[in-house]
Amino acid sequence: MANYITVSALNNYLKRKFDADVHLNTVYLKGEISNCKIHSRGHIYFSLKDDTSVIGAIMFASSASKLNFEPKEGTKVFAIGRVSVYEATGKYQIIVNSMIPDGVGALYIKYEKLKKDLEKEGLFDPKYKKPIPRFPKRIGVVTAPTGAAIRDILTTIKRRYPMALVILFPALVQGEEAKESISKQIKVAQDYDLDVLIVGRGGGSIEDLWAFNEEIVARSIFASKVPIISAVGHEVDFTIADFVADLRAPTPTAAAELCAPNTLDIIKQIDNYKIRLNENIRNKLNYLDKYLSSLKNSYVLKNPESIYEQKEQNLSILIDKLNNIVNKRLEYLNQKLMVLKSSYILKNPYLMYDKHKEKLEKLQTNINYNFKLILNKKNSDFNINLEKLELLNPLSVLKKGYSVVNLGDKAVTSYKEVKKKDILDIRLSEGILKVETIESRER
């Protein structure tokens, strides 16, 4: 029984195995939608099937909100997602992150790859985005010379900001040669001293808009010194050009509105500035008028001599203070000089010499006396230490009849150290005896 597990444990184990498999984390799947149901919260529940198989699928609201088409029963699609297990039912399913209708799948894959490569290279980085001038004088437009896009742009700019000069750079915006045409006209526009450049076209299918997903167009937009507004298709359409451009407009008309301020709004704003400026000027003039009146009525201007009189009085006070300080200082120094002049030492300088001479002689006498005391003490200590050393001197012992016996360089202290016929040196108080050992024994 210990080997049995619950259904929940098995489903949980299978879910973890599915989630850990890198081959199931990103799956590119094509099939036909069936059993499609849209939940009130925005989630889409459906199945993907082909001729022989079917798999359950779910697309959560966060991903479903990005779809640019309506999923319907029988629609063939390309889907990207990850395969997982729903633990509650034990069924595996694909959780779809993005989905496009079949027929544009190859283009979509190409689009995603180029977008990823250019983003990694830094062409979408916000730090390279140039600001759009608020009041442009010269506006360039790269689009088809005929069609709704150029009409909408010209009409909008003329209505909102008629003082701007609009220069059209006609280009093909659809077909195989469109990418080269758009890229070329963006480069040509660089020499026309433009303030801003609109690049775009009206709406269409992904194939119609594809020229704006080409790498050559993206790099021309990125290299432009003129700020570029991308205006391709409708609001739901996103192209590579939108990500590279300095600003993305949802439609050509919106692009014209973004770069052309409304003249009526500008005039209204100028009028507001006029009102505020006039009010500020009036307030300033009123303030200055009051200030001038206060100056005219001031006591100083009515009695200018009072300024001189006040300063003259202050100067007199300062001069009196200065004279008082100088006089006190001179009096103090004069008293000090008189004291010095009347001093006993200045009148009898030799007395100072005699006084110090007598003191010096006493010091010299004391030094000589102390030196003799110290010398006698050291001499006495030396004789005492010399007598102590003499008592410890081994040579003094020899004078009493003792001797020192050596065998070679070693002093002999025991008969056991000497053998028969060893030559010994016997040191006496006066001289050394060299003898041969006849016998060595204990006494």
What is the SS3 assignment for 131? coil
Which pLDDT does position 19 carry in this prediction? 86
Q: Kindly indicate the confidence band of residue 356, based on its pLDDT and cuts at 50, 70 and 90.
A: confident
Q: What is the per-residue pLDDT across 87-97, written as a single tens digit (0 to 9) for each? A: 888 899 999 99
pLDDT at 264 exceeding the cut of 70: yes
Q: What is the pLDDT of residue 409?
A: 82
Average pLDDT, stretch 211-228?
95
pLDDT of residue 105 exceeding 70, the answer is no
Q: What is the mean pLDDT of residues 278-288?
A: 92
Averaged over 402-419, what is the pLDDT? 80
Domain locations along the chain: 7-102, 112-261, 398-436
Whether 415 shows a pLDDT value over 80: the answer reads: no
Q: Stretch 175-192: mean pLDDT, rounded?
A: 94
pLDDT at residue 413 tops 90: no
Select 7-102's CATH number: 2.40.50.140, 2.102.10.10, 3.40.50.2300, 3.30.70.2860.
Answer: 2.40.50.140
Residue 347: per-residue pLDDT: 65
DSSP three-state, residue 406: strand
Identity of the amino acid at 351: L
Q: pLDDT class for 15, splitting at 50, 70, 90? A: confident
Higher pLDDT, 308 or 113: 113
Which pTM value belongs to this model? 0.47
The pLDDT of residue 220 is above 90: yes
Specify the pairing of strand 410-411 against strand 138-143: unpaired
39 phi and psi, to 5 degrees?
-75, 155
pLDDT for the residue 88:
87
Nearest to 200 by CA among 246, 144, 244: 144
Report whether pLDDT(400) > 90. no
Residue 150 has a pLDDT of 93
Token pair 């009196």: residue = 320
**281-288 average pLDDT score:** 92
Dihedral sign computed on CA atoms, order 301, 306, 308, 310? negative
* pLDDT at position 121 over 80: yes
Q: Give the pLDDT of residue 397.
A: 66
> pLDDT at position 289, please?
87
**β-bridge partners, 98:** 80
Instruction: Give me the chain's average pLDDT, please.
Output: 87
Q: Is residue 124 scored above 90 in pLDDT?
A: yes
- In the structure encoding, which two tokens stand for residue 93, read together? 């399913």
d(CA 111, CA 100): 12
What is the C-alpha separation between 407 and 438, in angstroms, rounded? 14
Strands 27-38 and 228-232, bridge-based pairing: unpaired
Question: For residue 6, what are the β-bridge partners?
Answer: none
| Among 185, 189, 181, CA closest to 225 | 189
Quick check: 48 pLDDT over 70? Answer: yes
Q: Which residue has the higher pLDDT, 417 or 226?
A: 226
Kindly state the average pLDDT of the residues 259-275. 88
Strands 44-49 and 54-59: antiparallel
Least confident of 100-104, 167-171, 266-270, 401-405: 100-104
Q: Identify which of 1-10, 215-224, 291-300, 355-364 has the greatest average pLDDT.
A: 215-224
Distance between CA atoms of 257 and 250, rounded to whole angstroms? 11
Residue 169 CB-density burial (10 A; 0-12 exposed, 13-18 middle, 19+ buried): buried
Would you state the pLDDT for residue 255? 94
CATH of domain 112-261: 3.40.50.2300
Percent of the chain with pLDDT over 70: 92
pLDDT at 389: 79
pLDDT at residue 404, as a whole number: 81
- How much of the chain exceeds pLDDT 90, in percent? 43
CA atoms within 13 A on the CB side of 71: 31
